[in-house]
Amino acid sequence: MFGLSPAHLILILVVIILLFGTSKLKNLGKDLGGALKGFKESMKDPEEQARADKELKDRTVEGAVNNIEKKHTDNEKDKV
């Protein structure tokens, strides 16, 4: 890889750690991982994304209330 031996790569890594410190590198890795996760989610099929959003909404309090209201109205319709 560009004429760099593993020893050169280790030396470069050590210099980067000394310059930035481990906490900044940890935050950088966390931010990069979050960006990749967001990118993957945006690349999902729109129908799959809509289904995932609906499942997430159903797991919230609002979704639970809507499900209870729907069951209540269905029971009232069955009585009539």
25 burial via Cβ count (<10 Å: 0-12, 13-18, 19+): middle
What was the pLDDT predicted at 8?
Answer: 92
What was the pLDDT predicted at 36?
Answer: 92
Q: Tell me the pLDDT tens digit for each residue of 13-72.
A: 899 889 988 888 889 889 999 999 888 888 877 787 788 888 877 777 776 777 777 777
Cα torsion 40, 42, 48, 53: sign:
positive
Interior/surface letters 59-71, b for 16+ CB within 10 angstroms, e for the rest: eeeeeeeeeeeee
Q: Which two tokens stand for residue 10?
A: 């280790």
Q: Which two tokens stand for residue 70?
A: 């729907």
Reported confidence tier of residue 7, pLDDT bands at 50, 70, 90: very high
- Compute the average pLDDT of residues 3-20: 89
